[in-house]
Amino acid sequence: MNILRKKSAANLPFSETVIELFIRLCGLSSIIFVFGIFFFVFREGAGFLFNGLGLGQFLTSPEWYPTSLSNKRYGTFALILGTFSVTALAMCIAVPFGLGAAIFVSEFCSPKLRETFKIIIELLAAIPSVVWGFIGLTLMNQLIITVFNAPIGLTMLNGSIMLALMSVPIIVSIAEDALKAVPDSYREAAEALGATRWQVIYRVLLPAAKNGLLAAVLLGAARSIGETMAVLMATGHSVNIPSGPLSWIRTLTATIAAELGEVARGDEHYQVLFIIGVLLFTITFVVNLIADLVIKGIRQE
């Protein structure tokens, strides 16, 4: 034991340098990857972005005719609306359920039940998105037709339910961590003042954990915006300005996934799909930035 320790102590300066260098590289790699990815995606689309594609038309026209023989039009307005509407509806479903489940797990559960619960939630998170898509395509499709008497069940609502189910595990686990991080002394103090359980949660825990809860919701939303396969299968994949939960829509991610496989490389259409990639990148960036600013604002209060 002694000898071993001496040996490693003798090697310390060298191994220390190597390990430090390695860790430094790991830290830098994420920055390099993010910028590298952005650069390469941007480069594929840049030619057409600056030369031919009207950015105004790209963002505001709902006409998506990438393969028209007579009049090609690349308007993504309907796709952007599709992405946002399906995400918003998914959050309307997922946030109450996710936060509710998190409160239940952290405040009401017995330790044994909590362990079981967490395992099951992790299991929910482990289901691949294509399986969710399949459930949406078959089971949920039929259910929506029966319940809402809709002509077809492949709708925004269907996609939103799938997305909600996929983002609930994320929201639950992060929100639960945030609630757990609230010191017990807060709860004890509140109870000592005669607060009911509901008052403790509503007046003390939720305000105290709001940073973490907000992060949980935004991460859930980010998951929904980026999700591809499930929305491709469940939303009907139709270029449509959404008019309600039962209208069928198409998202930015699904468009890339469905069309990139068959375009000729370097084609205008190919470049436009990469510009959509840049757009998605920008959207996620803005969501994160807002989250950062909001959290900072809360901290300063």
Partner 1 sequence: MEKYGWAGYTIICILVVLACGYVITGCSPKDGESTAGEAAAQVIIKNKGSDTMVNLAQAWAEMYTGITSTASVEVSGGGSGTGVAALINGTVDIANCSRQIKPKELEQATQNTGKVPQEFIVGYDALAVYVHHDTPLNKITIPQLAEIYGEDGTITKWSDLGITHTNCPSDKIIRISRQSNSGTYFYFREALLGKTRDFELGSLDLHGSKDVVEVIGRTPCAIGYSGMGYATSHVKMLEVAIADDAPYYAPNLENVLAKTYPIARPLYMYSLGEPTGEVKAYLDWILSAEGQKIVEKLGFVPLANN
Q: Which residues bind partner 1 (CB under 8 A)?
A: 30, 33-34, 37, 41, 62-71, 78, 141-142, 145, 149, 151-154, 170, 174, 215, 218-219, 222-223, 225-226, 228, 232-233, 236-240, 248, 250, 253, 256-265, 269-270, 273-274, 277, 280-281, 284, 287-288, 291
Q: Which amino acid is at 38?
A: F
Q: 116 or 142: whose CB is closer to partner 1? A: 142
Q: Which two tokens stand for residue 273?
A: 């799909």
Q: 108 or 148: whose CB is closer to partner 1? A: 148
Cβ distance 277 to 253 under 8 Å? no
Cβ distance 295 to 209 under 8 Å? no
Q: Which two tokens stand for residue 197?
A: 């359980």
Q: How far is the CB of 147 from partner 1 (least distance, A)?
A: 15
Angle at 160 between CA 249 and CA 292, to 5 degrees: 105
Q: How far is the CB of 289 from partner 1 (least distance, A)?
A: 10
Q: 194 or 261: whose CB is closer to partner 1? A: 261
Read off the DSSP letter of residue 73.
E
Q: 103 or 216: whose CB is closer to partner 1? A: 216
Read off the DSSP letter of residue 261.
G
Collapse the DSSP code of 277 into the 3-class scheme (helix H, G, I; strand E, B; otherwise coil) and give the result. Answer: helix
Q: 42 or 97: whose CB is closer to partner 1? A: 42
Read off the DSSP letter of residue 194.
T
What's the CA gap between 166 and 224, in Å, rounded? 8
Q: How far is the CB of 177 from partner 1 (least distance, A)?
A: 9
Helix axes 111-126, 156-180, angle to 10 degrees: 140
Q: How far is the CB of 103 from partner 1 (least distance, A)?
A: 20
Q: How far is the CB of 14 from partner 1 (least distance, A)?
A: 30
Q: 195 or 263: whose CB is closer to partner 1? A: 263
- Cα–Cα separations (whole angstroms), residue 198 to 18, 158, 159: 53, 33, 33
Q: How far is the CB of 180 from partner 1 (least distance, A)?
A: 14
Q: How far is the CB of 123 from partner 1 (least distance, A)?
A: 19
The answer for residues whose C-beta is within 8 angstroms of residue 60's C-beta and 6 or more apart is 75, 77
Cβ distance 168 to 100 under 8 Å? no
Q: 18 or 34: whose CB is closer to partner 1? A: 34
